Chains A and B, each alone.
Chain A
Amino acid sequence: MNLQMETVRHRETLIVRLSGELDHHTADLVRMRMDEEIGREGCRNLLLSLKSLQFMDSSGLGVILGRYKLIKQKGGKMVVSDVNPPVFRLLEMSGLFKIMSIYENESSALSELEVAL
């Protein structure tokens, strides 16, 4: 499969690093694995780190919006970081930045999330 996913917990924040290509074919697995982690105790916020994500289409947007709803229900915050230009364009066009903050890197995203606690 042309998508790799790494998850790390940092206090109440789940960091998900995606690399490769997020499309309809790879979306189901990403969705399942993320929901499993989000469901764990003490997980409140979600940081989606997209440094090595080479490609994404509207199936990926669906996954992001779905996780946003889940995190919001839990009273947490969802943010993205390290977005490269092709993915940025898609996120911008879809209006995602109206509901989600974007950060240059993981550490600036994490410090923002911790201030928000």
Chain B
Amino acid sequence: MKENSSNFMTLQFAAKSENESFARVTVAAFVSQLDPTMDEITDLKTVVSEAVTNSIIHGYEENSEGVVTISAWIEEDTITLLIEDKGRGIEDLELAKQPLYTSKPELERSGMGFTIMENFMDEFDVASEVGGGTSIRMKKRIVSKKALYN
């Protein structure tokens, strides 16, 4: 039986596109202790994929010497994710958050990454420093399945 408890994990990996699926599968495995629904797992996998892809493409501009760090905390039924890089940072955060805006149209980026993160999570916050890196903090309460038991 699940008790009210907290848990955490940290994951560090090279900024290589091969690691995008590794990152989202790992976070999905970690959150499985909260009994999420398939939809909730998909949401989390998608936002991890978006944030990690941003770090690789924009933060490190595909230089695989860069390091991406994911930390995750579970507090009762809520998961908090912190996804950080030490890359270039974002000059204009408000512009970057606009749906369909992309700084790299030549790469056929859709410009939907931040919009997806905002939509799929309950809380979403970006901090960035030019030359210092970007960190994204997101929260989601895992609810749907538990409602069935009550």
Q: In whole angstroms, how far apart are the Cα atoms of A23 and B50 in the complex? A: 9
Task: Report B1-36 CB contacts with A as 1/0, cut-off 8 Å.
Answer: 000000000000000011011001000000000000
Which of B41-49, B87-95, B127-135 lies at the interface with chain A?
B41-49
Which of A5-13, A42-50, A61-69, A107-115 lies at the interface with chain B?
A61-69
A55 engages B42 (CB within 8 Å): yes
Task: Report B112-135 CB contacts with A as 1/0, cut-off 8 Å.
Answer: 110110010000000000000000
Interface of A is mostly: helix
Interface of B is mostly: helix
Q: In whole angstroms, how far apart are the Cα atoms of A93 and B112 in the complex? A: 10
Q: How many residues of B contact A (CB 8 A)?
A: 25
With a CB–CB cut-off of 8 A, which chain A residues contact B45? Answer: 55
| Nearest CB in chain A: distance from B111 CB, A | 8
- What is the size category of the interface that chain A forms with chain B? 20 to 34
> Is B103 among interface residues, defined by CB-CB distance under 8 A?
no
With a CB–CB cut-off of 8 A, which chain B residues contact A21? Answer: 21
> Is A58 among interface residues, defined by CB-CB distance under 8 A?
yes
| 14 new A-B contacts at CB < 8 Å, known A23-B17, A55-B45 | A21-B21, A25-B21, A27-B108, A55-B46, A57-B49, A58-B53, A58-B109, A58-B110, A58-B113, A59-B53, A62-B110, A65-B110, A86-B38, A93-B112
Binding site for A on B (CB under 8 A): 17-18, 20-21, 24, 38-39, 42, 45-46, 49-50, 53, 56-57, 107-113, 115-116, 119
